[in-house]
Chain A
Amino acid sequence: MSRIVNVIIRAVSVAVIVLMTGILTTIASAQVVKPEQNAENVAAGKAIYDRTCVFCHGAVGKGDGPVAYFLTGNMSPRPRDFTAGVYRFKSTLSEELPADGDLFRTITRGVPGFMPTYSGLVPQQRWQLVYYIKSLFPGFATAEPKPIELGTPVASSMASVSRGGIIFEDLGCSGCHGANGMGDGELAEDLEDDLSFKIVPANLTMLNSLKNGSGKGDIYRTIMTGINGTPMPSFEDTVESKDDVWDLVNFILSLSGSR
């Protein structure tokens, strides 16, 4: 009996190795092509969603998956409720819905600390996810989100950083983020998000913790659009010029020595 089992195990082992080798070497790399938004791709997106997103965002996208409470307890951030149409990380102005590229970017990058990157999905799958997520909120059917224009970045320099530091104070950034950008401003303890969960201001000295991205363009975008559902406002109507915002970006980057 034991000999028979041994023979079977060897045969299975060989078969498995052959199978594995074949499969692993023939997996094709996907092309970066945005597929058409249609029912078929929405359905494909749902299938991916059910395997990957359901644990936090719940079966119907209400942000009520079984991991949601374990993730942060009664603190922000909570998984997005896709049926409410309130999105945080986007390139459109405050009250607008996000552009497709915004959803794609968040899926690709994840949210530092709380949502893993899904760049392990091929781009086509990520687009399909975008389409499925959009299908959960009817407002997307008629929306025409327009990403803001970033303009031309101001090169970082001592002068630019210095101007940015003044703007940082003038706009009241230090109230939440603290004078040194460590997220310890005098208002920091009392902040809540739109769901009344306690929220902690970003520590600007730790760029990799910035949830909306830490590239120059990401920070510019965050300042101009704000982060919906959080105390972080849009400064689009407050700043005098785009160059001021770029100076502020340079200052923020300097807080972590990244300029």
Chain B
Amino acid sequence: MRRLFRVTGRGIVLGALLIGAITVLTPVESQALPAFARKYDMTCSVCHTRMPRLNFFGQRFLENGYQIPGTMDGASVKKKLLGGSNGATLGKVSNYMAVRLRADVERFGFNDKDATESDDKVRIQTPDVINIFFAGTAAKNISFFFETEYNSREDFGGIAFERANLVFSNLAGSQGLNVKIGNFDPASFFSFPTHRQQMNPVGPEAETGDFPPDINRIPLLPLAFSSKFFGLTRAASRAGGEGFAILPFEPTSFNAPSARGATLYGRPFGNDFLYQVGLVDSTRATGERGYDYYAMLRYDYVRGEYWAANVSAFYYRSPESANLTSMGSMGGMGSSMGGASSGADNQIAVADMTRYGIGARVNYKTLDIFGALIFDKLDYTLPAMSASAWDNDASGLSLEANWAATQKWMFSTRYDKMDAGGLVAMAKNSSWLTVQAKYYTSPNIAFYLRGHNNLESADDSPVRNLRNAVLAGVDMAF
């Protein structure tokens, strides 16, 4: 314990100094508001607990295709219409655009000093993630969302359309049927969405040019969403993310931040229940195109006395989506493997993947507590002797609490636990505790200081070699 604090001490001091300086130097109030809030002449907190997480009203605004809940105001209210009598102009484009910047100073403490080039170093990321959004309603009940992201954290970093989708709202009467098509987070309406984290995910550091990839550092994100299985690969023709391997820490399936597909959702039976069904464009382990499918049901309890809650459950099925591989250090944990080889050489079976889980959220005054318990299962056919080398079940739990203590300060904590599955010889559980203090100089500009601590006994393996991390940075949208 003493070692942990000694190692992180410099980072904490650095972060505290940074936040202190920023707090003193930054004006207390800013008149700047993100474009989305500006469109409606409203403060960000009408829709957000604090940017970027949505409150119960913001969730309904999102559900309704960027229209005020219960209405079909489309482009007719406040928002400027693309097209119309004068057509679209560059000036009008700004009415649809918002920018989000994230930059930070990071310090990672490792157990094995030979394991990574980033060992115990302070790294400045300015800015490391930039998102540019275009969103709004093109017409009544037709809305769009495009988000480009430049992310220097990711190995395949660069500018890309992370999310891009169209929503057709209120197709079967008010709330009954909505259709979303494109790239989006399938868990947008789940009690614990993959996207819009109050504690921004930190991507992995990995060398993905070879197979299996070398992992210098695991990502830091809600482990309930992770794939959890060691020793799996994707089809060679669809290499993505971290190369051929499916990283055990990678958000996947229902909890992918961005998946291409279509979803139907609505509230045909009143305000309490939200259904969602969808298809995700996928690639089979064989390289053929296929579709994953899922369903989600959420129950909302919105009453009074300053509190509300919801619970949700989902089922996601991905047929023939992964290869079981025989390589000892597969699954994205192959730093000890020498030389590159082909994943295809080592495939021993094709597996279906099934994910199901429950989530819940409770708001009371300015306290926002939510969590997800997610189970993953592999189905395949193997001789009994070979199958005994595999654990077909995995699970993950993420619990988070955010408390907006004042209009300026938000304190957050998250507990993550992953019971890993897959190749038994390689699978290692993981659990983390994260704490964060966030200071908002205005509703759209926040400075944060965050600490991640590995709760498992740290060892020299790529899964466990990261002991802790301290981040101090800024997150702003305008």
**Size band of the interface chain B makes with A:** 35 or more
Interface string of B77-104 (1 = CB under 8 A from A): 1100000000000000000000000000
Q: Which residue of A lies closest to B267 (CB)?
A: A51
**Interface: A37 (CB within 8 A):** no
Cβ of B40 under 8 Å from chain A? yes
Within 8 A of A (CB), among B38-66: 40-43, 45-46, 48-50, 55-57, 60
Q: A residues within 8 A CB of B262?
A: 9
Given known A-B contacts A24-B142, A64-B304, A71-B46, A48 and B70 have beta carbons under 8 A apart = yes
Distance between Cα atoms of A116 and B174 in the complex (Å):
19
In this assembly, does A11 line the interface, its C-beta being within 8 Å of a C-beta of chain B? no
CB of B265 to closest CB in A, whole Å: 13
Let me know if A9 and B271 touch, CB within 8 A: no
Q: For chain A residues 110-130, which have a beta carbon within 8 Å of chain B?
A: 110, 112-121
Task: Output the least CB separation between A22 and chain B (Å).
Answer: 9
* Given A66-B308, A116-B40, also A73-B407 (CB < 8 A): yes
CB of B175 within 8 A of CB of A51, answer yes
Which one, A64, A71, A113, contacts B41 given CB within 8 A? A113
Residue of A9, A16, A66, A118 near B168 (CB, 8 A) is A16
Q: How many A-B residue pairs have CB under 8 A?
A: 144
- Enumerate chain B residues within 8 angstroms of A118, measured Cβ to Cβ: 68, 71
Chain B residues, CB < 8 A from A56: 57
A208 to chain B: closest residue by CB = B41
Q: Does B363 contact A (CB under 8 A)?
A: yes
Q: Are A70 and B55 in contact (CB under 8 A)?
A: yes
List chain A residues, Cβ under 8 A from B279: 5, 9
A66 touches B68 (CB 8 A): no
- Give the contacts of A34-55 with B (CB-CB under 8 A): 48, 50-52, 54-55
Q: Which residue of A lies closest to B72 (CB)?
A: A120
Are A120 and B305 CB-contacts (below 8 A) given A20-B179, A51-B174?
no
Most buried by A among B55, B71, B262: B71
Contact, CB under 8 Å: B140 / A55? no
CB distance from A98 to the nearest CB of B (A): 22
Q: How far is the CA of A118 from the CA of B307 in the complex (A)?
A: 24
The reply to whether B363 and A66 form a contact with Cβ atoms under 8 Å apart is yes
6 A-B pairs with the lowest CB-CB distances in the bound complex, closest first: A120-B73, A120-B71, A58-B304, A52-B70, A66-B308, A51-B70
